[in-house]
Structure 1
C-alpha cells in the first residue's frame, strides 16, 4: 500500500493560540471561526504554515513565518473561510459548471441527476452508500485516466482520525472507502501533489473542492493534473471529541483502539470500534451521527453555502429511502447513491463507468432530492439569516456571492429565518458557536 502523507500535528493547543497569524486572511478567518480545516493555506505556504489540532478536536493553521504577497492573495481567493467558489454569476463565468443546463438553489448546477450503485458487490458494500465514488476512482485508475487518487483514509496510529492517502489500486481505494466524520485536510500537501507531475482524481468535502477550484484560478496545474474532482454532500465536520464519545459509549477506551469505522460495510452501516485484543463495539448510524457527531459540528459548517459539492465534477450522497412517516429511513439495506454530474468531465466519468459496467444509474427528478436530503435543504435556507447575525455583530463572514443563498432562503419561512438569526447572534455573544 502507498504510504500515507503526514498526519496533522496534534500539539497541546487552543483555538486562541492558533488565532494570531500575521496573514490578514487567516487572522480574519480564525477570528470568525470560519476555518474548515481544508489545509489549502498550509499546502501552498512552503512550510510557513503548519496544521495542528486544537480543542475540542478541529484542524487549524499555525503560521510561523511571513507570507509573500502572491501567497497571501491566493489564500484570500481560495480559502473557503474567506471566499466560496460561486455556482453562477460574474465570478463563475468561464468555468465548467457555469455551463450546466440547470441550477437548483438547494442542489447546485447539474447536467444529470440520478440514483445508482456500483455493480461490484464488494465496492457497494464497503462504501457508505452505493459505492459510486469508489467505483469512479477505481475505473479512472484502471483505465489510465489518472495515475492515482488522492483522498483521506483512517490514520493507522489514531484510527478515529484521518490522514491523506494516495491510492493506485482497487484494494487501496477500498481500504479508504467509507465516510470519515473527523477533521480532514486533503489540501495540506497540494503543492507537493501537483509538483509530483501525477494526474490524479481528488475526493474531498465540498469546501475542499471549492478551495481547489479557486486555486485553479492562479495555478494552471490544477486543471491540467486533476481531471476528476469528486465531492460528497456534507453534514458538517465534527470534532475528535465526538468520535471519542462514541467509543466510550461502547464501553471502550479511545486510547486502546486498533481500528475504527464511522460507517460503511452495509448501508448506512454501523460505527465499529476494535481493540487489539479482539474486543469490539458497534453503534447504529442514527445513534452515532444523531446522538454524538452532529452535536460536535464546527461553526463554519453551520453557515455553509455549498454543502452539496456544487463545483465538483461529480457530487455523491446517500439516496435515502423514506420510511412510513416520510422521513429518511436508516434501516440497513443495499446501498444507493445520489449522483449529480455537474461538469462535462463529470458527465464523461459517469458515462465511462456505465459503459464499463462498473455502475448502474437511473434518472431522478431533482425535486425528489429534498425527500432524501431534507436537512441539506433546511441548512441552505438558513445561510443568509445566520450570516446576517454575523454581520450585525461585526463578525467576519465568507464571500458567498453566486451561490443562490437568497433563492434558497425565499423557499423557507420568515419565522424560521428570524429565529435562526436571533439564535446565531445569541450563540456568538455567549461564545457558544
Structure 2
C-alpha cells in the first residue's frame, strides 16, 4: 500500500537517505538520485502493513530515537559514560583516518579479536569515486581501504534485511541518523541486538548533496573528468581534499575550503533540524577534537590527528577499555566542558533546533518526533536574539522553498 509515513517525510523534506525503508520494502523499491543530489525513495512508494509499522517507528525522518537515561545526559553531547581524547595506536591508521583514526582502529580490533564477523560501513565507489557504496569489511586491509570521511549521501541501512537474515554479528559504523534508525528498529525487532552488538557513530555536520562535490571538482578544474579516486579528507589532520584523474593528474583543496565554501552550503534540510547529530544512541561516538579555544572556530591547521571519543554504553566503554589495554588506541581523559570549545557548531545547532522546528510547525509542516533529546534544555541555553532570528529565518526559507 502507499506509505503515509514516507509521504509525510517527503512532504516535509525530512528524508536522511539512510535506506531503511528500501530494506524493509521486500524489494519493492530502492533509493535513487533526486535533485539536487540526494538519495530518496520514489514518490508514491508502497509498503506492506508490517513494513509501514516498522518504518513509522524507525525512519529517522519520522522519529528520532530518544537518548537513554541510565547515565548522565548532556543537552548538547548526549549520554556520557566516558569522555576522552585520543588516537589510533598504529601511526599509519592515525594518519589515514579523518581525525585520530579511533573508529578505524576499533573496527580493526573488533575483527582481529573475533568480536564480530564483519564491519558494516561505507566507502568510495570505485566506479564513481565521489559517490559512496556500502561495504562489509572482514579484515584490516578492507577496513583501511574504506577509512576516511565521506561527505556525500549514503544508505548504509539499505541491506539491513539481508544482514539480519545472515546470522552473523556486525559492527555498524554510520551517521547518527543511521544509528538512530537501528536503535528504533531494535525496539520492535529483537534481532537487531544480536546482529549489531556494536554500533559506532560520529559527530555529523550534515549530508551535502552530490552537487557540493561537483562544485569542488569544478573549482579544481576537473569538471567532467574521469576520476581514479576522490578523498574528502584524511592522510593527515584534517587532511586535504584530493581528486586524482585516470590519467594521473592530482588536484587538492584545503579542508577549510572544501567543507566551508562548497559542501556545507549543500547540506540537506533534515540535517539543519537534526536533534541528535552527535550519535547519542551509539555505543561510542567520535569526532574531531579540534583546536580552536575561545575563538569558537577551529584552526584547521595540519596536525597529528586527535579524536574526541565518548563512550555512551557499558558495551562501548568495555570495547574502549579492551582496545586501550591492547594498544590499539591511546586515550586520555577530557573535561566535558572542553567539548564545547572543540565542537562549537554542534552546540549552536542543538540550541537552535527548537526554534527551527517551531517555524516548521507554525507553517503546518511535518517534523520528526523528537522526544527525550534535551531540546528544551539546549534551547534555554541560547541567546534570545539568535533564537528569534532563526525562527523568522526558518519561516522565510520554508515559505520561499529554500530550506
Same fold (TM over 0.5): yes
Moved more, 321-330 or 122-131: 321-330
Contact 2:293-2:341 at 8 Å conserved across structures:
no
Residue 162 of structure 1 corresponds to which residue in structure 2? 132
Residue 69 of structure 2 corresponds to which residue in structure 1? 98
1:25 aligns with 2:15: no
Contact 1:49-1:64 at 8 Å conserved across structures:
no
Partners in 2 of 1:66 and 1:276 — Cα distance?
A: 41
Shift of 1:324: 8.4
Shift of 1:402: 0.5
Partners in 1 of 2:10 and 2:44 — Cα distance?
A: 15
1:321 aligns with 2:321: no
1:114 aligns with 2:84: yes
Structure 1 segments (4+ residues) deviating >4 Å:
323-326
Map of 1:288-367 to 2, 5 A cutoff?
A: 288-322=258-292, 325=295, 327-367=297-337
SS across alignment from 2:128: coil
Partners in 2 of 1:126 and 1:168 — Cα distance?
A: 18
Contact 1:131-1:337 at 8 Å conserved across structures:
yes
Residue 61 of structure 2 corresponds to which residue in structure 1? 81
Shift of 1:225: 1.3
1:150 aligns with 2:120: yes
Partners in 1 of 2:218 and 2:119 — Cα distance?
A: 34
Contact 1:199-1:225 at 8 Å conserved across structures:
yes
Gaps of 5+ in 1: 1-20, 88-96
Shift of 1:313: 0.2
Instruction: Render the CA deviation track for 1:205-225: whole Å, top value 9, x for unaligned.
Output: 000000000011111111011
Partners in 1 of 2:20 and 2:69 — Cα distance?
A: 23
Partners in 2 of 1:190 and 1:136 — Cα distance?
A: 22
Shift of 1:392: 0.4
Shift of 1:34: 0.3
Partners in 1 of 2:352 and 2:294 — Cα distance?
A: 27
Question: In structure 1, which of residues 277, 280, 294 is the aligned counterpart of residue 250 of structure 2?
Answer: 280
Contact 1:48-1:63 at 8 Å conserved across structures:
no
Shift of 1:67: 2.0
SS across alignment from 2:30: strand
Partners in 2 of 1:291 and 1:227 — Cα distance?
A: 38
TM-score by length of 2: 0.98
Shift of 1:98: 3.0
1:190 aligns with 2:170: no
Map of 1:5-16 to 2, 5 A cutoff?
A: none
1:53 aligns with 2:24: no
Shift of 1:354: 0.4
Partners in 2 of 1:71 and 1:325 — Cα distance?
A: 48
Instruction: Render the CA deviation track for 1:148-207: whole Å, top value 9, x for unaligned.
Output: 000000011110010000001111001000000000000001011111111010000000
1:326/1:412 CA distance change after superposition, 3 Å: closer
Residue 401 of structure 1 corresponds to which residue in structure 2? 371
Partners in 1 of 2:132 and 2:323 — Cα distance?
A: 28
Shift of 1:258: 1.3
Residue 37 of structure 1 corresponds to which residue in structure 2? 17
Partners in 2 of 1:64 and 1:352 — Cα distance?
A: 48
TM-score by length of 1: 0.91
SS across alignment from 2:242: strand
1:200 aligns with 2:200: no
Partners in 2 of 1:277 and 1:254 — Cα distance?
A: 13
Shift of 1:63: 6.3
SS across alignment from 1:400: coil
Instruction: Render the CA deviation track for 1:42-73: whole Å, top value 9, x for unaligned.
Output: 11111123100111110001267642221101
1:326/1:302 CA distance change after superposition, 3 Å: closer
Partners in 1 of 2:224 and 2:230 — Cα distance?
A: 10
Residue 262 of structure 1 corresponds to which residue in structure 2? 232
1:254/1:199 CA distance change after superposition, 3 Å: farther
SS across alignment from 2:87: strand
Question: In structure 2, which of residues 209, 212, 235 is the aligned counterpart of residue 242 of structure 1?
Answer: 212
Partners in 1 of 2:48 and 2:221 — Cα distance?
A: 50
Instruction: Render the CA deviation track for 1:381-419: whole Å, top value 9, x for unaligned.
Output: 000000000000000110001000000000001111111
TM-align CA RMSD: 1.2
Partners in 1 of 2:388 and 2:291 — Cα distance?
A: 31
SS across alignment from 2:31: strand
Residue 233 of structure 1 corresponds to which residue in structure 2? 203
Shift of 1:325: 4.4
SS across alignment from 1:194: helix
Gaps of 5+ in 2: none
SS across alignment from 1:292: helix
SS across alignment from 1:177: coil
